[in-house]
Amino acid sequence: MISLREVGLVYPNGTRALDGIDLEIAKGSFVFLVGHSGTGKSSLLRLLYREQKPSSGMVVVDGIEIGKLKRSKIPELRRKVGVVFQDFKLLLDKTVWENVAFALQVTGAPTRDVMRQVPRVLDLVGMAHKSRVFPNELSGGEQQRAAIARALVNNPKILLCDEPTGNLDPVNANEVVDLLHRINLKGTTVVVATHNALVVDRMRRRVIRLEHGKVLADDERGLYHGIESDIRRDAEDLALAARVRHGLG
Amino acid sequence: MDWGKIRFFLGEVWRNFTRNVIMQVTAIGTVTVMILLLGTFLFAQQTLGRVGGDQIAKIEISVFMTDKATPADGQRLMARLKSDPRVKRMTYIPKAEGLRQVRDRLKGQLDTSLLTSNPLPDALRIRVVDPNQVHAVAAAAGKMPNVANVEYQRDFVERLLRLYDVMSKVGLAFMLLLVVTAAIIISNTIRLTVYARRREIAIMQLVGASNIYIRLPFICEGFLDGLIGAVLAVLLLGIGRWQLWPKLASSLPFFPLQDAGSDFGTFALQLLGVGASVGIVASWISVGRYLRT
């Protein structure tokens, strides 16, 4: 579904955001991208919906080669890829319903589809009862669920989330990630860039760790700080426990 | 017909149009002034052109033959000039006829019975097809055999032609300046709307709206600015045409003004077209520039 080969990204100001990235993300998988701020998580996501072009290497998303994609073909790609952000990016002068419908209407979808798809996704994210409410009257978690509904209304094959829980408290964060999980179970490939360790550790899904624009670790059932550090921490805990016992004994 | 789609689209256009009313009024006002001046200028040019044309059409070249020229020479000269495509019409005036004409013209002012001998040579009067060719034809006739001299109202022709030419050029430059000004102000208005709606545009691009879908509401906004401005100008021109013009015409009876308003409908449609086009082009450019970056 997503494939990166030797991908490099250098911004015009000379910043090397990504360097020699090799990745395969299978259809229907759920992947966390973790790493400190500025390690290239967002840059990597931006390549996948062609907000950025790779400076080198090859990025393929659902059979489309991003580097060679014509400007006029970008909308086609964007309809296959839903994107969710930390700051929701909802339109404040439109209701939840209008925000979600907007995403369909501006692609020229017939009204019939709008009337069918919008209730479906609002129901999926559990926001059907708030469809007439404006974003400012919603909690952060609700706003993010509305934003997810908007990202899903085109029936994308891939859902990209850039720090989706960044503005949420732990309870709302867990709810949003559970929702993403449910969406994934329906067959959508989900990629989540985050530095929310709690969420990552609870899910135990594939974790790709970036550092200085390179893939540092890629664990199939990973943890936020990595399995090795987890083992090390366990070992340290054991050692500490042994010392404590020893000291006590 | 998908009424939901149409309603959504019109809603977007209305939202754009009402977002910044003051800028919209400025843009429309500029177009009104532009079209008003354009209309007035075209009308003035047309009227002057017609008046000038009437005068120029009356201009004749007089070709006087030498004293020793025979009627046969006159016939040859006429044949030569007739083959020139620039010549529209010509009359041959033998000296007897010339004298009779002079007598008629001077009757009552001068005792022409004193003229016993005829001092006039045989002459030709020529009218040309295009007033711009008066000089050339006169010069050509002057070089032909048996021609003594050529006369025509050189100063008058030259001044009239120069005035018409200068007026056209100045007017054209002035109009271009106005069109550019209107285009810049419309494009600025659209840019403000684009800026006010940058979040919507970003989301449209994010969810895969095609470029034309993003552009269209802005193009419509520019079109409306241009069209409404032009409609106002045409209304004002109409008032001028039916209220002011008759008064002006009756106060200047000596000036051969003609009713130029017979094809006002076509004229109005052309002006509306100009206004709308300026609006569309200006908004197309300013949205395009935003979307590319």
My answer on whether B74 and B137 are in the same domain is yes
pLDDT in tens, B209-237: 888 888 888 899 899 999 999 999 999 98
Measured between CA atoms, how close is A241 to chain B, in angstroms?
Answer: 52
> Could you give the CA distance from residue B69 to residue B62 in angstroms, rounded to a whole number?
16
Q: What is the arrangement of strands in the sheet containing A158-162, beginning at the earlier edge strand?
A: A81-85, A158-162, A189-193, A30-34, A206-211, A214-219
**Both structure tokens of B180:** 């550019």
Q: Are residues B17 and B136 in the same domain?
A: no
Q: Which of B152, B180, B195 is the last residue in one of the domains?
A: B152
- What's the ipTM? 0.83
Residues B176 and B193 in one domain: yes
Residues B174 and B258 reside in one and the same domain:
yes
Inter-chain residue contact B211 with A75, CB threshold 8 Å: yes
pLDDT by residue for chain A (249 residues), tens digit each? 899 999 999 999 988 999 999 999 999 999 999 988 888 999 999 999 999 999 999 999 999 999 999 988 999 999 999 999 999 999 998 999 999 999 999 988 899 999 999 999 999 999 999 999 999 999 999 999 999 999 999 999 999 999 999 989 999 999 999 999 999 999 999 999 998 888 898 888 999 999 999 998 888 887 888 766 666 777 777 788 888 878 765
Contact B208 A72 (CB under 8 A): no
Residues sharing a CB contact under 8 Å with residue A86, sequence separation 6 or more, in sequence order:
A162, A163, A164, A166, A167
Residues B104 and B147 in one domain: yes
Nearest CB among A75, A89, A115 relative to B210 is that of: A75
Q: Do residues B50 and B64 share a domain?
A: no
Contact B159, B126 (CB under 8 A): no
Q: Which two tokens stand for residue A195?
A: 């530095």
Q: What is the pLDDT of residues B276-293, one digit of tens each?
A: 999 999 899 888 888 875
B2, B199, B209 ranked by CB distance to A75: nearest = B209
User: Are residue B168 and residue B44 in the same domain, yes or no?
Assistant: yes
User: Same structural domain for residues B64 and B163?
Assistant: no
Tokens of A205: 């899904």
From chain B, the residues in CB contact with A162 under 8 A are none
Tell me the shortest Cα–Cα distance from B193 to chain A, in angstroms.
Answer: 15
Domain range for residue B102?
60-152
Please state, for a pLDDT cut of 70, what percent of chain B lies above it: 88
**Is the CB of residue A164 less than 8 Å from the CB of residue A192?**
yes
Q: Which CATH architecture has domain A2-80+157-248?
A: 3-Layer(aba) Sandwich (3.40)
Query: B125 and B110 in one domain?
Result: yes
CB within 8 Å: B208 and A107: yes
Domain termination site, one of B136, B152, B168: B152
Query: A77, B209: Cβ pair inside 8 Å?
Result: no
- Nearest C-alpha neighbor of A74 from the set B13, B290, B291, B220: B291
Same domain, B45 and B114: no
Domain extent listing, chain A: 2-80+157-248, 87-155
What chain A residue is nearest to B8 in terms of C-alpha separation? Answer: A105
Q: What is the pLDDT along chain B (293 residues), one digit of tens a residue?
A: 788 888 888 888 888 888 888 888 988 998 899 889 888 888 777 777 777 667 666 777 888 888 777 778 878 888 887 788 888 888 888 777 777 777 777 776 666 666 666 777 788 888 887 777 777 888 887 788 888 888 877 677 677 778 778 888 888 888 888 888 888 888 888 888 888 888 888 999 999 888 888 888 889 989 999 999 999 999 998 888 888 777 777 766 555 555 555 578 888 898 999 999 999 998 998 888 888 75
pLDDT of residue B111: 67
CB contact at 8 A, A118 and A101: yes
Give the closest-approach CA distance of A182 to chain B in angstroms.
22
Nearest to A75 among B3, B8, B208 (CB): B208
Q: Nearest by CB to A106, which of B3, B4, B213?
A: B213
Q: Do B2 and A150 touch (CB under 8 A)?
A: no
The CATH number linked to B147 is: 3.30.70.3040
Task: Report the pLDDT value the prediction gives residue B252, as an integer from 0 to 100.
Answer: 62
- Whether B75 and B37 map to the same domain: the answer is no
Cross-chain Cβ contact A108/B3 below 8 Å: no
Same domain, B142 and B175: no
* pTM of the full structure: 0.72
Q: Judge: A107–B202 Cβ closer than 8 Å, yes or no.
A: no
**Per-residue pLDDT at A115:** 94
**Inter-chain contacts counted by CB atoms under 8 A, chains A and B:** 60
- Determine the distance in angstroms separating the CA of B6 from the nearest CA of chain A, rounded to an integer: 10
Beta strands in chain A (DSSP E): 2-10, 16-25, 30-34, 56-61, 64-65, 81-85, 158-162, 189-193, 206-211, 214-219
State the burial class of residue B93 (Cβ atoms within 10 Å of its Cβ: 0-12, 13-18, 19+). Answer: buried
Of A147, A35, A36, A131, the residue nearest A85 (C-alpha)? A147
Distance from CA of B9 to the nearest CA of A (A): 9
Q: How many domains does chain B have?
A: 2
Q: What is the pLDDT of residue B113?
A: 67
Q: Give the Cα separation of B185 and B24 in Å (integer).
A: 10
Give the closest residue to A103 by CA, choosing from B94, B48, B8: B8
Q: Are A25 and A48 in contact (CB under 8 A)?
A: no
Q: What's the confidence (pLDDT) of residue B112?
A: 64
